[in-house]
Amino acid sequence: MSNAISIKGLTKTFGDITAVDNLTLDIPKGSAFAFLGPNGAGKSTTLKILTSLIKPTSGEAHFFNIDALEEPHEALLQIGAVVESAEFYPSLTPSETLDYFGRLRGMNSDKISRNSNKFLKLVGLDNWSDKKIGTFSRGMKQRLAIAQALLHEPPILLLDEPTFGLDPRGMVEIRNVFKDLTKEGKTIFFSSHLIGEIEEICDTLAIIDKGQVLFSDTMKNLMKKFKTDDLEEIYLKTITESVR
């Protein structure tokens, strides 16, 4: 199986602090990949590098055969991203916001309109498409961020805490969206603190701490290695052993 995302030797330092330390990962096309680790482990920094928000100190990253660091414009066409908490212009509506992002990506008006309607409905905002975003709750903004990430129908989704701010019902609805997307062949890079969410959605996983990958494999192989299907137990054991 070919890889949708390949990361080799990725490192990012901030002064004396190494946020990402020689990170190497291969994420197969069509997989739902979980990036699991404590606060400050390097998860968000990695996603910011992959989305060209910050530059790495060293290393390589590819989406399919496109160099994400040397060809950022071409690479960004391959991905949709939700990075940390979403913010939008409060005076715009969801329809206006998606039109803006669609034009930035070079989409034509017909496709923007068609996809806006499709994905606003998918995330449960179809009845709010003409309301000002300034009146939205955090969860509604998060739903809009997911619609924005899907707008240009990218093959790869990079998601940092994508259910942040959602109520329990909203979490279930959006998790079902992600599960359906993986069935359609999308590759999802999923960073979350919610172990139950990861168990429900993901088939491959990497555990990261202090910028280093401690374990990376399929969920099936992970549970076979640790002789348990309790991901929380596996995670805590792996993190505890890394501290010793």
Provide the pLDDT confidence category of residue 23 given band limits of 50, 70 and 90. Answer: very high
* pLDDT tens for each residue of 193-208: 789 889 999 999 999 9
What is the tens place of the pLDDT at every residue in 153-169? 999 999 998 998 899 99
The helices-and-strands tally (H runs, E runs) of the chain is 9, 10
The dihedral sign for the CA sequence 224, 226, 230, 234: negative
Mean pLDDT within 18-31: 96
- At residue 95, what is the residue type? S
| pLDDT score for 242 | 65
**What is the token pair recorded at 149?**
């990430």
pLDDT tens-digit profile of 81-127? 998 777 899 999 999 999 999 999 999 999 999 999 999 999 999 99
pLDDT at 244: 53
User: In angstroms, what CA-CA distances link 152 with 107, 111, 167?
Assistant: 7, 9, 27
Tokens of 102: 């669609």
- Contacts by 113-120, CB closer than 8 A, 24 or more apart: 115/150, 115/151, 115/152, 115/153, 116/147, 116/151, 119/146, 119/147, 119/150, 119/151, 120/94, 120/95, 120/144, 120/147
Q: Kindly state the average pLDDT of the residues 203-216.
A: 94
The pLDDT-based confidence of 175 (bands split at 50, 70, 90) is: very high
Total count of domains within the chain: 1
- Please state, in angstroms and rounded to a whole number, the distance separating the CA atoms of residues 136 and 134: 6
- At residue 66, does pLDDT exceed 70? yes
* Residue 134 vs residues 75, 95, 200: alpha-carbon distances, Å: 31, 14, 32
CATH code for position 138? 3.40.50.300
User: Which value, to the nearest 10 degrees, does the dihedral of the CA atoms of residues 193, 31, 42, 64 take?
Assistant: -160
Closest CA to 208 of 221, 189, 224, 225: 189
Q: Residue 187 pLDDT more than 70?
A: yes
Strand runs labelled E in the chain: 3-14, 17-28, 32-36, 58-63, 66-67, 79-82, 156-160, 187-191, 204-209, 212-218
Range of the domain at 80: 3-243
